[in-house]
């Protein structure tokens, strides 16, 4: 879709929602149909502002591979991997209203290889408090305070089934607005053996990490212990780090 037709499509969907409260699908910069909602994260996803850099890191996935999307939001990366690579996808999104949009997008794009899970990953099995940021859902996050809504949470005890799945190699994306280290500790068993996860993409935001009393150095230390090498190590306080390790040879 050209830039002009994409803009017209987005404008039409916007006014259909404002005037008639009717939601329409908008064609994104990646050829994906995404259900319109008034949200900054949606706009960035549709325009392609979220994407090119990370999608380049997903290009090597195949039908025999696994992609785990932790903090999927409306599903930009899960949709792309399923539609264009055919990989098995497991996607976690705790925000109930955003999850409903995600599921609608999966149906519209016929992405049958995706398993969407309406839950967060933390060290709690049950419910955790979740801070919903209206107007920019991508900034929503689990909270250490009691103000917010309750969402379902899985710890490592409820995630063991993932390690039993059949796949050749795996990539994990973690974008959870500061709880990245917490998540890493809960899924570390997937990274230890039999070493099928070969790439982990982690959002590094030093301000957000402070919410949970963690820092980026702790993430780098843990990933090094797990056998991963960082490719970027930027000085900037907010960026996506790519951790990789050499493929297992037989």
Note whether residue 14 is domain-resident. no
The rounded distance, in Å, linking the Cα atoms of 14 and 91 is: 27
DSSP 81-97: HHHHH--EEEEE---HH
Whether residue 24 is contained in a domain is answered as no
- In this predicted model, what pLDDT tens digit does every residue of 164-194 receive, in sequence order? 999 999 999 999 999 999 999 999 999 997 8
CATH of residue 229's domain is: 3.40.50.150
Segment 125-153 mean pLDDT: 93
- pLDDT above 80 (res 1): no
Contact 137, 95 (CB under 8 A): yes
Lowest mean pLDDT among 43-57, 74-88, 116-130, 139-153: 43-57
81 occurs within a structural domain: yes
- State residue 226's pLDDT score: 96
C-alpha distances in Å from residue 55, one per residue of 26, 78, 101, 115, 162: 20, 10, 21, 19, 23
DSSP 162: G
pLDDT tens-digit map of 79-136 = 999 999 999 999 999 999 999 999 999 999 999 999 999 999 999 999 999 999 999 9
Residue 34 lies in a domain: no
Q: How many domains does the chain have?
A: 1
Cα–Cα distances in angstroms (integers) from residue 92 to residues 17, 193, 227, in the given order: 27, 22, 25
- Domain holding 104, by residue range, is 50-244
**Cis before 194? omega within 30:** yes
**pLDDT more than 90, % of the chain:** 77
Answer whether residue 4 is part of any domain.
no
Q: pTM to 2 decimals?
A: 0.90
8 within some domain: no
Reported as a single tens digit per residue, the pLDDT across 217-235 is 999 999 999 999 999 888 7
Is 150 a domain residue?
yes
């Amino acid at each position: 879709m050209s830039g002009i037709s994409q803009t017209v499509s987005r404008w039409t969907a916007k006014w259909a929602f404002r005037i008639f409260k009717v939601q329409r699908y908008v064609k994104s910069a990646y050829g994906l149909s995404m259900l319109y909602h008034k949200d900054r994260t949606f706009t960035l996803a549709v325009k392609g502002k979220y994407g090119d850099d990370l999608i380049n890191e997903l290009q090597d996935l195949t039908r025999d591979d696994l992609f785990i999307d932790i903090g999927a939001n409306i599903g930009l990366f899960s949709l792309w991997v399923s539609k264009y690579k055919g990989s098995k996808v497991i996607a976690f999104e705790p925000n109930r209203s955003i999850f409903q949009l995600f599921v609608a997008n999966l149906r519209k794009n016929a992405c049958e290889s995706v398993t969407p899970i309406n839950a967060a990953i933390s060290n709690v099995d049950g419910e955790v408090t979740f801070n919903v940021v209206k107007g920019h859902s991508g900034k929503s996050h689990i909270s250490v305070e009691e103000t917010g809504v309750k969402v379902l949470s899985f710890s490592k005890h409820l995630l063991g089934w993932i390690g039993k799945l059949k796949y050749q190699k795996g990539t994990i994306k973690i974008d959870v607005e500061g709880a990245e280290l917490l998540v890493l500790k809960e899924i570390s068993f997937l990274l230890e053996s039999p070493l099928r996860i070969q790439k982990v993409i982690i959002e590094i935001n030093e301000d957000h990490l402070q919410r949970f009393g963690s820092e980026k150095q702790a993430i780098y230390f843990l990933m090094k212990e797990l056998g991963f090498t960082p490719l970027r190590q930027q000085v900037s306080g907010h960026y996506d780090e790519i951790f990789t390790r050499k493929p297992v040879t037989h």
